[in-house]
Structure 1
Amino acid sequence: MELVAQVLQACERTPKATAIVGPRGEAMTFGALRERALRIRDRLSAAGLARGDGVLYAVEPSPEAIAVALGVVAAGGVLVLADPGVPPAILAARLRLADPRWVVAESRLYALTSLAPLRALVRRRGVLLPSLRDPLPGDDLHTGLRHAYTGRWLPGVPRHAVRLRGLDGPAPQEYGGADADGPAAVIFTSGTTANPRAVVHTQRSLAAGLEIFRDHFPVGPGDVVHADGLMIGLPALIGGATWSMGPARLIARRPVTHLYCVPVEFAGLDAFPATLRTVMLGSAPAPPAVLRMALQLPVSQVLSIYAMTEALPIALATARDKLDHAEGDLLGAPLPGVGVRFTEDQELVVSGPHLAGRYLGEPPLSEVATGDLVRMDDQGRLVLLGRKKDMILRDGFNIYPSLYEPAIAALPGVADAAVIGIADAATGDEEVVLALVADRPVDARELRSVMDAGALPDRIELLPEFPYSSRRKLDRAALRELIRRR
């Protein structure tokens, strides 16, 4: 069964139960979620949203945001998760590739990005927001861009935007299904401004990933699952549990039974509800100190999830098994249905029904290289040896140095720039360090013009020169060691 149908079917089973609790405590029942999603589907379809239309999605996490996402996909639209908060040049490159026909955003975001005084205010605070009314000015392909908004109308909302607030009238029609193999979501993961890269998931691939999760993550009515992502929140809804949204620190005030968060976020928690039974750590490696902290809680299980955007999930390992494993980072046995193989240099390549259909603008995928160097132990479990690429992980955010270094090096007075990660032994998170060869300091405001907010460095180091290999390539290992000694 396709993804949206599974969620709506769960809504019909327990319509009066609470489906989602938002970051500010706002709640929505399963019945309300179903009706809201279907009314949004009908409204967008009536307004001309066609099957396969890309929809730039700019709605902050909330129960309403989930209803909007379900409504868009139910109408046949494709969610384009391009992150409007990235620098304008990066967003423009992503949108040229995705070619969305619609923008669905909160009315306040339209106001912030369209009204000159408000744009100037947020710019003074170091935030650069592109105009959602016209994200690609001067691009003839986007002159017919349509808009829809959530929340009450505010100045800055396009004149003919479709209102998604306060929809009522006759009961919405039943959900008739959609093309399970058609695109449902486009998720940008990496690439440069000149060559952005995005994963294209179908309803079928997403549903397969959720099925794998549910088999190892049984939840049901009465359970409260706290998570910040769809791949944990949607299985919770399908199982009849309540999805609790927001920062992990909120769990202290909620009857949470299952918690999913990034290891570094978990390490910062100092209060846990007595109801907590399961802790799941993911989006970054879970270091021993965090695993031991989790095992001190009176919970029944602590799991570490290994996954990638292209294939969610790949493997699970218990905290105890990870701590008992002496050599390398134990990832766990491949989950049922997940195919694995290894290249000559030990890079892990995965396949399976949960694999994304393709990268946007590229041929279909039958398997995907993870970028991780992995071996399989004598028990058939995957063991991480290291990362093949230079990607940095901080707070669950993937940081690709090559995406930012050329633009930083192009700033006035900068001769060379390198972004490196230095692992924190206590949390496993990586400190992001920007190394510069420059004749002047570079301030945070300049960096915000060329970097994602999630990639901004923790510190900046000025160096007289960078270490290079004999082939005149930047020696990142030597640079990292140089930074460690400072």
Structure 2
Amino acid sequence: MLDRLDHALRTRPERPAVLTAGRTGGPKVRATRGELAELSDAFAAALHARGLRAGDTVGVAVRPGPRALAVLLALWRLGLRGAVLDPGAGPDVLRARLALARPALVLADAAAQAVAGWARPLARRAGLALPDLAGLGPVATVGPRLPGCAPALELGAPRVGVPVRGASAADGDADAVIVFTSGTTSTPRAVVHTRASLAAGMASVSSLFDAGPEVPVLGGTFFVLVPALTRGAPVALPARDPRVLSRQLNRLRPQHTYLTPPQLRDALDAGARFHGRVWTGSAPAGAGLLERVRGAGAAQAWGVYALTELFPAAAVEAREKSAFEGPGDLVGTPLPGVTAEVDADGQLLLAGAAARHRYLGEEPDAWVRTGDRARLDGGGRIVLEGRAKDMVLRRAENIYPGLYEPALHVPGVELAVLVGVPAGDGDERLVAVVQPRRGAAEAALRAALAEPVRRMGSACPDALLFARIPLSGRSRKPDRAAASALAARRLGASGPDSTEVNAR
């Protein structure tokens, strides 16, 4: 698909490719299709001039947008392997990840570096900072260079001799991208996708989105940008401010919209109206949230189940999810080409052409062990029952929060999780942390939750807290460890018999 995108950008180069929102939400053209193609050519020539060749690794710490997309196209063209670096991960984690990937060069924009001078306070406020990279390879700045940044990547290199495609372009087994997912500073873990698995994942997304030409698609991930641009649709990067995002949606009327659940909630609270199909993923999206999106004008609202190791794996539309009455969280039927099984321990295993090849430094494995407990219903649909590692042990009973959390999403509840709080002697208290929707009365919510809580049987929580649930990571998933710590503080402050926290 990246080959097709490279060709498509050179067709009607005057058409807008990437849009951003002005203060009023109106579209501003960040780059035309021709400008993207030209920038990609310039990056490819510069990297080739530095002696980088197919198979070399390039670290990439560039914010989503035209430059990041042009870098991706240049890496693909030269057959280079990109290591995606998250500047928000912190210097120690980044240093460990760089030591594992050993890039020949790191490409970073000024905001990701911010290593000296007046830019440092700006970076701290944005949570961005690269570590001292001494001994881990050279760094080059892409985009505007600020004081203290590394030397700029020279884009004036001669383009004679730059391959049209990298030597490994036809080799689907060649590595394409490294994405770090978990692990500690001592043992970081990274997913490795080959050219074939990356292409398969993008093709799968393209079949879901089915975007037509000219009408905008709103979303900020590569898996949205690439298929949409390949089909001739301009892509609008979502505004960060929910009020501006709301106006952006109203102005653009995108045919497809991809936002994370927290972005959807914030947009809905800001009065957003949706159009066409809306997709969400990267964090749990309950039936209530999807129905709110439909109620705000979307023709369809879809939840996408995806992992870094396999994107996407399954999808479910709001009406099907709302009609599901069994325990657990229905995430849909595996997409074409995806095989799902459940092992003896109840863990969901996935395989398919879009699955990662291996973890960096480990042997290849055809099966992705998701870490999610699940079952397959009679129609082969995937029903999640919680994370294996999220298990709470209470009075010698294993409790899997994901099996019961959907029941807590009654009207007026925005987000809810079940977490364990240490109770001594290895036992835990089970606490329901509930985030009310703006304007919802806690007394009414407590009454509405009484019956769902009672129906949890032996998994009935020991306490019910109303609080804003901490989120973490770029995808803004619920941070269960932080929620558990919050519950422990609240329980300690109020006492276990407090009317505020007692669920029974």
TM-score scaled by length of structure 1: 0.75
The total of aligned residue pairs comes to 417
Does 1:34 find its partner at 2:69? no
Aligned to 2:252: 254
Shift of 1:13: 3.6
Partners of 2:362 and 2:150 in 1: CA distance: 33
Does 1:90 find its partner at 2:90? no
Provide, for residues 299-329 of structure 1, a one-character-per-residue CA deviation record: whole Å limited to 9, x for no partner: 3322111111100111111100000001122
Asked if structure 1 preserves the Cα contact closer than 8 Å seen for 2:58 and 2:83, the reply is: yes
Partner of residue 191 from structure 1, selected from 183, 186, 209: 183
Aligned to 1:65: 68
Aligned to 1:148: 140
Structure 1 residues 464, 85: closer, same or farther in 2, change over 3 A?
A: closer
Aligned to 1:212: 204
**Mapping of 1:271-420 within 5 angstroms?**
271-272=271-272, 276-327=275-326, 328-390=328-390
Partners of 1:54 and 1:78 in 2: CA distance: 5
Aligned to 1:157: 149
Aligned to 1:99: 102
Does 1:268 find its partner at 2:270? no
Asked if structure 2 preserves the Cα contact closer than 8 Å seen for 1:88 and 1:128, the reply is: no
Query: Which ranges of structure 2 fall in alignment gaps of 5 or more residues?
Result: 23-27, 240-244, 392-400, 403-418, 420-430, 439-466
SS of match in other structure, 1:236:
helix
Asked if structure 2 preserves the Cα contact closer than 8 Å seen for 1:22 and 1:62, the reply is: no
Letter in 2 for 1:163: E
Provide, for residues 391-446 of structure 1, a one-character-per-residue CA deviation record: whole Å limited to 9, x for no partner: 999xxxxxxx9xxxxxxxxxxxxxxxxxx99454759xx95569xxxxxxxxxxxx
Partners of 2:310 and 2:353 in 1: CA distance: 9
Structure 1 residues 62, 458: closer, same or farther in 2, change over 3 A?
A: farther
Structure 1 residues 191, 170: closer, same or farther in 2, change over 3 A?
A: closer
SS of match in other structure, 1:193:
coil
Shift of 1:286: 1.3
SS of match in other structure, 1:231:
helix
Partners of 1:235 and 1:482 in 2: CA distance: 52
SS of match in other structure, 2:314:
strand
Shift of 1:453: 12
Provide, for residues 279-306 of structure 1, a one-character-per-residue CA deviation record: whole Å limited to 9, x for no partner: 1111122123212211213333221111
Asked if structure 2 preserves the Cα contact closer than 8 Å seen for 1:38 and 1:74, the reply is: no
Partners of 1:303 and 1:311 in 2: CA distance: 18
Provide, for residues 132-178 of structure 1, a one-character-per-residue CA deviation record: whole Å limited to 9, x for no partner: xx42x4x4xx3xx233222234332335x4224xx587799673252
Asked if structure 2 preserves the Cα contact closer than 8 Å seen for 1:28 and 1:63, the reply is: yes
Shift of 1:9: 2.3
Does 1:119 find its partner at 2:120? yes
Asked if structure 1 preserves the Cα contact closer than 8 Å seen for 2:211 and 2:255, the reply is: no
Structure 1 residues 191, 109: closer, same or farther in 2, change over 3 A?
A: closer
Partners of 2:502 and 2:317 in 1: CA distance: 35
Structure 1 residues 32, 484: closer, same or farther in 2, change over 3 A?
A: farther
Q: Structure 1 residues 240-249 or 335-344, which shifts more?
A: 240-249
SS of match in other structure, 1:66:
helix
Asked if structure 1 preserves the Cα contact closer than 8 Å seen for 2:64 and 2:221, the reply is: no
Structure 1 residues 342, 256: closer, same or farther in 2, change over 3 A?
A: same
Structure 1 residues 121, 34: closer, same or farther in 2, change over 3 A?
A: closer
Partners of 1:170 and 1:50 in 2: CA distance: 15
Letter in 1 for 2:73: L
Letter in 2 for 1:280: W
Shift of 1:379: 1.9
SS of match in other structure, 1:389:
helix
Asked if structure 2 preserves the Cα contact closer than 8 Å seen for 1:306 and 1:315, the reply is: yes
Shift of 1:128: 6.7
Asked if structure 2 preserves the Cα contact closer than 8 Å seen for 1:220 and 1:241, the reply is: yes
Letter in 1 for 2:377: D
Partners of 2:499 and 2:47 in 1: CA distance: 55
Letter in 2 for 1:259: T
Letter in 2 for 1:176: R
Aligned to 2:441: none
SS of match in other structure, 1:113:
coil
Asked if structure 1 preserves the Cα contact closer than 8 Å seen for 2:67 and 2:143, the reply is: no
Does 1:223 find its partner at 2:215? yes
Partners of 2:475 and 2:201 in 1: CA distance: 29
Aligned to 1:408: none
Aligned to 2:56: 53
Asked if structure 1 preserves the Cα contact closer than 8 Å seen for 2:49 and 2:157, the reply is: no
Letter in 1 for 2:164: Y
Partners of 2:499 and 2:163 in 1: CA distance: 62
Structure 1 residues 370, 483: closer, same or farther in 2, change over 3 A?
A: farther
Partners of 2:161 and 2:226 in 1: CA distance: 22
Aligned to 1:410: none
Aligned to 1:443: none
Structure 1 residues 299, 130: closer, same or farther in 2, change over 3 A?
A: closer
Partners of 2:182 and 2:76 in 1: CA distance: 24
Asked if structure 2 preserves the Cα contact closer than 8 Å seen for 1:422 and 1:433, the reply is: no
Q: Report percent identity of matched pairs.
A: 33
Structure 1 residues 94, 153: closer, same or farther in 2, change over 3 A?
A: closer
Letter in 2 for 1:40: F
Structure 1 residues 423, 389: closer, same or farther in 2, change over 3 A?
A: farther
Letter in 1 for 2:120: R
Shift of 1:85: 2.4
Shift of 1:212: 1.5
